[in-house]
Structure 1
Amino acid sequence: MRTPSGRSRAPDPIHWLRYAVAGSLPTAYHQWVLYDLTCGTWVLRHLSRALVQFSFWWLCLLVPGPLSLRFAMVALGYLLGLYFSLSFMEDACERRLLKAGYPPGLNRKIREETPVSERAATVALYASYYPPS
């Protein structure tokens, strides 16, 4: 689905939540997935998805025990999760790209070859050459 400006539109909150917890998006959003993985803020977008994935750590506050211990469990869970999420950020983005039907390495190729100001146009160009399967 495209907006009147020609760019693909972002998924609604329900679809985005599914995408954030490693689900796939319908074909209509696959060009947006490519943009999401190549735009100038792709690292921040990855971190926002990771924070959503780790939100289950808040359930540790329901465990009986001292409040300081419960908050420590939440903090350690988040820190460990963010450490591994940042460590494997490229691989996670690559898997999302493959789920959307694009060839391996396309996101890295776009990020390395294209200046930030021109990435949206480049994503549209690549999406037209590599339609998601």
Structure 2
Amino acid sequence: MRADRPSPLQWLWYAVGGRLPDSYREWVLYDLTSPAWVFRHLARAGVQHTVWLLLLLLPIPLTLRLWMIAVGVSVGVVFSLSFMEDASERRLIKHGFPAGLNRRIREEATGTEKRAELAAMYTAWYTDGRGEPAS
């Protein structure tokens, strides 16, 4: 897929939650469904967490400022990873795509054989072999 890429300023706006013009819809869809969508999400989250650098301006000891930044970024990244599928879906909806499209595209790309294998492993691990929950 060859889609127009946003300019660096437009990408920054997009990274902090802004909506891109309709001419970038294909790129947004690619951004949120490509094989590297998790890394792309982390790049957007990294931009959002640069706000923690403002703590460097506080008139407190440097070590305390650095620890505050480390804690803020680490908690932020954990939350960002926890809600990355929801955030991706909200971005797609914001750009005019139907809900659930990103998950559907990613599932089709990974193939049904892999999902069936994972479901079988899950069932074997969490049941006693007769379909009853393991105790």
Q: TM-score, normalised by structure 1?
A: 0.81
The corresponding residue for 2:36 is: 41
Q: How does 1:3-42 map to 2 (within 5 A)?
A: 7-42=2-37
Which amino acid in structure 1 is aligned with residue 14 of structure 2?
Y
Q: How does 1:83-102 map to 2 (within 5 A)?
A: 83-102=78-97
Runs of 4+ in 1 over 6 A off after TM superposition: none
The corresponding residue for 2:47 is: 52
Task: Show structure 1 runs of 5+ residues with no match.
Answer: 1-5, 117-133
Q: CA deviation at 1:115?
A: 4.6
Which secondary structure does the structure 2 equivalent of 1:114 belong to? helix
The corresponding residue for 1:112 is: 107
RMSD over aligned CA atoms reads 1.2
1:73-116 Cα offsets, whole Å, 9 max, x none, are: 11011001001000000000000000110000001100000259
Q: CA deviation at 1:37?
A: 0.4
Match of 2:73 among 78, 91, 99: 78
Structure showing greater relative contact order (alpha-carbon pairs closer than 8 Å, 6 or more residues apart): 1
Larger of the two Rg values belongs to structure: 2
* Identity value in percent: 59
Q: Distance in 2 between matches of 1:115 and 1:106?
A: 14
Q: Distance in 1 between matches of 2:28 and 2:110?
A: 19
Q: CA deviation at 1:7?
A: 1.0
1:29-87 Cα offsets, whole Å, 9 max, x none, are: 01100000000100000000001001010010110111100000110110010010000
User: In the comparison of the two structures, how many residue pairs are matched?
Assistant: 111
Q: Distance in 1 between matches of 2:32 and 2:72?
A: 25
